[in-house]
């Protein structure tokens, strides 16, 4: 019976149909972060505070996003995906609208946290829905397609932010985010499938709080999945280190304009999209685990060269941009394959499993962001050292997992 239901769902929601819908929801997170990156110096002047206090809103956002996923994941497993997404994105809308009227940086931090908490509800349902319907290479291809589509958001987001600053003010950026959240709510209501009945037929049972906590422990302590969980967290931390300091690096350290910053930032997303498309073709020839290794090698070697150039005083704008394009671009290969490998171990608790991996990414990203704001010394060294350290830890996690498999 389960296979019959599954085939019906796959027929009505094929990969090419479901991926763009879920990508619209997943894209909220990079759009919510990247759109206001060009505005960080302007916001610092508006609130009359140091720039690192505005940068602090990024790790605060990541903490809220992590907690939102941890909360929303098991709830979506019990009560269904769609309602959790609707509630979370409605909360995101309210907080985005409130940010327009904040009068100090502390209020900005508060509503960014609430905004992120609601956004975490939206993100957590997407990978869970993919796992409800697909696995293995099929899941990896869908994650790749979702990743490619959602990269349009960070590609255009800084440009959108720059345009808003040119013609309006920084508050207009958050008004745009509020409108985007409402659009996402409508997408979920009209088009996103509810897989609760399918999962019930497949044997999923309603869980109480104790069972939810036991599921979390079972996922975190899963020996085969743990290396992918760690790898994902460390690799994501390289991205968040970049996001935390990129405004300073390009605008203040290298002295580029806000408009040029948008273009330079966009190059990283173009690189990621290119790697993402390469990944799509590689999946027809190699298993996800082998492609994951390739992506990690590219990221680690590029991060090493980036730090070495800085140590020898060669960190010019052009070279830094190119190397960062490789570091960030390799995420287009790493993320979908790592996610497919990890989610394959949790067919019945995909929402909770996705909450664990998503929250671990954003929690570590928040810690890295806080560390970078503390270490900020007017040079790119803290950023470059952190990026390399996280890339190396991601690579070590992968090889630890391979050793476990071979032993």
pLDDT of residue 396: 92
Is the Cβ–Cβ distance between 396 and 268 less than 8 Å?
Answer: no
Look-up of token digits 């589509």: 149
Quote the CA–CA distance of 322 and 341 in Å, as a whole number.
Answer: 29
Q: Which residues contact 375 (CB under 8 A, 6 or more apart)?
A: 382
| Residue 394 burial (CB count, 10 A) | 26
> Does residue 137 contact residue 337 with C-beta atoms inside 8 Å?
no
User: Which is nearest to 125 in space by CA: 211, 36, 187?
Assistant: 187
What is the CATH code for 12-406? 1.20.1250.20
Q: Quote the CA–CA distance of 70 and 75 in Å, as a whole number.
A: 9
Contact 244, 237 (CB under 8 A): no
Terminal alpha carbon distance of the chain:
37
How many Å is the Cα radius of gyration of the chain? 20
Q: Give the residue from 299, 293, 295 showing the smallest Cα distance to 402.
A: 293
Q: What pLDDT is attached to residue 190?
A: 87
- At residue 325, the pLDDT reads 93
Q: For the chain, which ranges sit under pLDDT 70?
A: 1-2, 136-137, 147-152, 154-155, 202-205, 351, 401-407
Q: Say what angle helices 331-343 and 105-133 make with each other, to 10 degrees.
A: 60
Q: Note the pTM of the prediction, 2 decimals.
A: 0.73
Look at residue 150 in the predicted model and tell me its pLDDT. 63
- CA distances, 364 to each of 43, 367, 370 (Å): 25, 5, 10
3-state secondary structure labels for all residues of 177-209: HHHHHHHHHHHHHHCCCCCHHHHHHCCCCCCCH
Q: Which single residue is written with the structure tokens 């990283």?
A: 268
């Amino acid at each position: 019976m389960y296979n019959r239901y599954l085939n019906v769902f796959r027929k009505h929601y094929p990969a090419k149909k479901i991926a763009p819908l879920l990508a619209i929801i997943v894209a909220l997170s990079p759009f919510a972060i990247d759109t206001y990156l060009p505005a960080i110096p302007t916001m610092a002047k508006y609130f009359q505070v140091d720039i690192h206090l505005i940068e602090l809103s990024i790790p605060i956002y990541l903490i809220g996003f992590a907690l939102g996923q941890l909360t929303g994941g098991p709830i979506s497993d019990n009560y269904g995906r769609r309602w959790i997404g609707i509630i979370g994105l409605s909360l995101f809308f309210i907080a985005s609208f409130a940010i327009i009227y904040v009068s100090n940086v502390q209020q900005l931090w508060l509503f960014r946290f609430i905004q992120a908490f609601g956004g975490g509800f939206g993100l957590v349902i997407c990978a869970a829905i993919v796992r409800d319907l697909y696995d293995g290479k099929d899941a990896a291809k869908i994650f790749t397609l979702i990743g490619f589509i959602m990269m349009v958001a960070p590609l255009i987001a800084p440009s959108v932010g720059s345009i808003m600053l040119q013609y309006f003010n920084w508050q207009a950026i958050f008004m745009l985010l509020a409108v985007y959240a409402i659009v996402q709510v409508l997408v979920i209501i009209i088009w996103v499938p509810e897989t609760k009945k399918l999962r019930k037929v497949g044997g999923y049972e309603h869980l109480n709080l104790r069972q939810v906590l036991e599921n979390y422990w079972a996922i975190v302590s899963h020996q085969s999945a743990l290396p992918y969980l760690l790898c994902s967290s460390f690799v994501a931390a390289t991205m968040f280190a970049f996001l935390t300091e990129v405004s300073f690096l390009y605008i203040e350290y290298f002295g580029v304009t806000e408009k040029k910053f948008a273009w330079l930032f966009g190059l990283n997303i173009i690189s990621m999209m290119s790697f993402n498309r390469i990944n799509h073709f590689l999946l027809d020839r190699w298993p996800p685990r082998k492609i994951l290794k390739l992506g990690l090698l590219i990221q680690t070697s590029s991060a090493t060269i980036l730090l070495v150039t800085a140590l020898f005083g060669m960190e010019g704008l052009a070279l830094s941009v190119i190397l960062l394009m490789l570091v960030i671009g390799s995420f287009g290969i790493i993320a979908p394959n790592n996610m497919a490998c990890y989610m394959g171990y949790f067919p019945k608790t995909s929402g909770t499993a996705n909450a664990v991996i998503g929250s671990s990414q954003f929690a570590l990203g928040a810690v890295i962001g806080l560390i970078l704001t503390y270490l900020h010394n007017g040079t790119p060294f803290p950023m470059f050292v952190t990026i390399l350290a996280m890339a190396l830890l991601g690579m070590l996690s992968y090889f630890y997992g391979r050793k476990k498999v071979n032993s």
